[in-house]
Structure 1
Amino acid sequence: MAFHWTAIPRFIPQLLAGAQLTLLITLAAMALGIAIGAAMAAGRVSRFRVLRLLAGLYVEFIRNTPALLQIFILFFGMPSLGLRMSAVTAGSIALGLNASAYLAEIFRAGLNGVPAGSREAAIALSFSRLHMLAYVTTPLAMRAAWPAFCNLVISILLASSLLSAISVYELTGITNDISTKTFLTFEVYSIAALFYVALNIAVSLLLALTGRLLFPPQSR
C-alpha cells in the first residue's frame, strides 16, 4: 500500500482554518461554561435548599447524558420548538452547557476547600461578605480549582470534534471532508492528530503561564 504524503501540504490551509474554528468554539464554550458553572456552584453551596436542589438536578442531568446527545438536542431538537440555530452556535452552546456542569463541581470543590481559618481571619478584620468573597474566598478557591479547570479546557477542546457530526467544519470536520474527497484517509487523519497534539500543547502551556501569573508560588 502506497502513501501519498506529498499531497498533504496543499490541505494545510484548510486544516489550519479548522484548527482556528476549534479554538474559537472551545473559547466560546468555556466562556458560557464559566458563567453558568459559577452560578450553579453558588446554587450548590447556597443556604437555600431549593437552590441547592435545582443546581444539583442540573449538574446531574448534564453529567449523566452524553455530550453528543446534548448537541443533537440543541441542533435537531430545538427547531421543533421554533428555535433554530446554526450548527456552530448550537454546538458551542451544547459544549458550554456540558462544561458548566463539570465547572460547577470544580468551583464547588474549590469553595469548600477554602480553609475556615481564612474566613475567620477576614471576619476578624471586619471584611464585609462581598469583600471576603472578592479578596479571600474566590482567590483561594480558584487557586485550588485551577488544575482541574485546565484539564477541563483540554477535554472541551477535544470534545469539539463531536461537532463534526452536525457538519461543523472544525478540525475533525475538515479532516472528514478532505478524506472523503481524496481518499487520503491515513495521511490526513494522521496530520489532524498532530494538529490536535500541537493545539493541546499550546493551550496547556498558555494555561500554565496564566496560572503562574494569577497564582504565583506561595513562599514557605
Structure 2
Amino acid sequence: MVFHPVNFLDYTQLFVNGSWVTIWTSTVAFALSLVLGALVALMRLSPLSVIRAVGAVYVEVLRNTPVLVQIFIVYFGLGSIGIRLSALLAGVIALAINAGAYLAEVIRAGLQSVPAGQLEAARSLGLSSTHTFFSVVLPQAFRTVFPPIINQYIDMILASSLLSTIAVNELTSVARIVNGITYETLAIFAFAMLFYLVLTNVVAFAAHVFARRVFKPQVETKFRFRIRRSQKLRVGGDPA
C-alpha cells in the first residue's frame, strides 16, 4: 500500500469547526452537570433517608453504566417513545447527567471536608445557616474540589468524542468524515488526537494559572501539562 501524504491545510477549517463544537458541547454539558451535581450532593447529605436514597441510586446507576449506553438511551430510547431530541441536545443532556453523578460525589466530599468545629464556631458567632454556608463552608469546599472538578471538565472534553456515534459534528466525527474522503486513517486520527491534546492542556494550564492567582496558600495542582488524576478526591458511596 502506497502512503499518500494528506494536505492538512485542506481540512484544517473542518477540524477547527469540529473543535468549536467539542468545546461548546463540553462546556454547556459541564455547566449543567455542576448544577445537577450540587443538587444531588445536597440530596446525599439530606437528613431525610428517602432523599438520600434517591441521590444514592442516581449516583450508583450513572457511575456504574457506560456513558455510551446512556447517550443511546437519551437519543434513541427517548425517540422511540415520541420524545425526539436533536443529536446535539441529546448529547449535551446525556453527558451532563453522567458527569453530574461524579461531580455529586466530589462536591459532597468537599462539603464534608470542612471541619465541624468551624461550623460550631460560626454558630457561636451568631451567623445564620446561609451566611455560614457561603462564608465558611463554600470557600473551603471550593478550594478542595477545584482540582477534581477541572479533571472532570477535561474528561468531559474527551467523552464528547462519543457523540460522533449519534452524528454530532464534533472533532471525532469530523475526523471520521475526513478519513472517509482521504482513507489516510493513521494521519487523520493522529491529527485529531493532536487537537484533543491541545484543548485539554489549554484547559489544564488555564486552571493552573487560576489556582495560583486565587487560592492563598496555593492549591497543589502539580501541573505538568495536565492536572494529575491522582489529585482527584477519593470518595466512596456512603450508605444512604
CA-CA distance at 1:2 after TM superposition: 4.6
SS at match of 2:7: helix
CA-CA distance at 1:116 after TM superposition: 1.4
Query: For residue 171 of structure 2, what is the amino acid of its counterpart?
Result: L
RMSD: 1.3
Change (3 A) 1:212 1:81: farther
Kept in 2: contact 1:178–1:188 (CA 8 A): yes
How many aligned residue pairs are there? 218
Kept in 1: contact 2:33–2:97 (CA 8 A): yes
User: Structure 1, residues 27-53: CA drift from partner, whole Å, max 9, x if none?
Assistant: 011111011100000000111111100
Query: For residue 123 of structure 2, what is the amino acid of its counterpart?
Result: I
Report the counterpart of residue 202 of structure 1 in structure 2. 202
User: Greater helix share, 1 or 2?
Assistant: 1
Query: For residue 118 of structure 1, what is the amino acid of its counterpart?
Result: Q
SS at match of 1:217: coil
Question: Within the alignment, does 1:109 sit opposite 2:83 as a pair?
Answer: no
Share of identical aligned residues, percent? 42
- Deviating beyond 3 angstroms after TM superposition, the runs of 4 or more aligned structure 1 residues are 1-6
CA-CA distance at 1:5 after TM superposition: 3.6
Report the counterpart of residue 140 of structure 1 in structure 2. 140
Query: For residue 27 of structure 1, what is the amino acid of its counterpart?
Result: T
Kept in 2: contact 1:44–1:108 (CA 8 A): yes
Kept in 2: contact 1:19–1:195 (CA 8 A): yes
Structure 1 length normalisation: TM-score?
A: 0.95
After superposing the two structures, state which structure 1 stretch, 41-50 or 203-212, moved more.
203-212
Q: Which ranges of structure 2 fall in alignment gaps of 5 or more residues?
A: 219-240
Structure 2 length normalisation: TM-score?
A: 0.87
SS at match of 2:85: coil
Query: For residue 81 of structure 1, what is the amino acid of its counterpart?
Result: I
Report the counterpart of residue 187 of structure 2 in structure 1. 187
Q: Which ranges of structure 1 fall in alignment gaps of 5 or more residues?
A: none
Report the counterpart of residue 37 of structure 1 in structure 2. 37
CA-CA distance at 1:67 after TM superposition: 0.2
CA-CA distance at 1:210 after TM superposition: 2.7
